[in-house]
Amino acid sequence: MASTTTKSAFWRGARDASPFVLVVAPFAVLFGVVATEAGLNIAQTMGMTALVIAGAAQFTAVQLMTENAPVFLVIAAALAVNLRMAMYSAALAPYLGAAPFWQRALIGYVNFDQTYTASALEFERAPDMTITERVAYFLGTVIPVAPPWLGFSLLGALFGSEIPASYALDFALPITFLAIVAPMLKTLAHIAAAATSVTFALLLAGLPSGIGLLIAGALAMAAGAFVETWQTRRRAR
């Protein structure tokens, strides 16, 4: 009986996360194309895709690598992009903290924007789920996300060189990043953070690659947090 509900939780997760394929597939193709165009070979492109398995951070790393930024700055900036996932980890801990360690270790590897969003929503909606069902549901949400991410990256890496130069692929990365960020601008605080980031990135563009971005990013995080605090206080009054 328990295995039936576990199985159904797994497939429910897979089904709930299935719309993400539409975003993951083109983004993955693009990563394959951009990374190989930047000079990574197929093994390096796929190595990064499989080990890092975080689109925005991978694009950040590749962009800074085309600018020949120092190794530690490439790593620092890309990891900074991934810091939000510590928040996902913290938010999932109350729901999944009781699972065996090996299961949590596995979940850590596939704790993405999409799997987190779908699962957090479901765990909140259905508080009666057992720990086994929650783990099954989470792993189910991985199915429409991770395999397409790997498969379509490979496709992009293999066939990217056949795309004609007239397609202005240099600008695919900025457009994709803007498309990802725009829907995140949900509150005044998010907009303040983004505006601060743009302003300081442009002002500090003269500094060696990566340094300006890290400074702009830190100031922008502070700006977002500041506006949020200010708004909360004003509302409380």
Partner 1 sequence: MSYSTGEIWLIIALLGIGTYAIRLSFLALLGGRELPPVVLRLLRYTPVALIPGLVAPLVAWPAATGGTTDPARLAAAIAALSMGYVTRNVLAAMVSGALVLTLGLWIGG
Own/partner long-range contacts of 90-96 (Cβ < 8 Å, ≥24 apart): 91/116, 91/120, 92/116, 92/119, 92/120, 92/138, 95/119, 95/120, 95/123, 95/134, 96/131, 96/134, 96/135, 96/138
To partner 1, the closest distance from the beta carbon of 4 in angstroms equals: 27
By C-beta, is 52 or 158 nearer to partner 1?
52
Site for partner 1 in 126-155 (CB under 8 A): none
To partner 1, the closest distance from the beta carbon of 233 in angstroms equals: 13
Binding partner 1 (rule: CB under 8 A), the pick from 198, 207, 208, 230 is 198
In order of 33, 53, 143, 151, the CA distances from 40 in angstroms are: 10, 16, 27, 17
Does 189 engage in binding with partner 1 (CB under 8 A)? yes
Does 78 engage in binding with partner 1 (CB under 8 A)? yes
Query: Cα 202 to chain center, whole Å?
Result: 24
To partner 1, the closest distance from the beta carbon of 156 in angstroms equals: 14
In order of 30, 50, 70, 172, the CA distances from 179 in angstroms are: 13, 23, 28, 10
By C-beta, is 1 or 101 nearer to partner 1?
101
Site string for partner 1, 86-105 (x = CB under 8 A): xxxxx-xxx-xx---x--xx
Binding partner 1 (rule: CB under 8 A), the pick from 1, 2, 178, 236 is 178
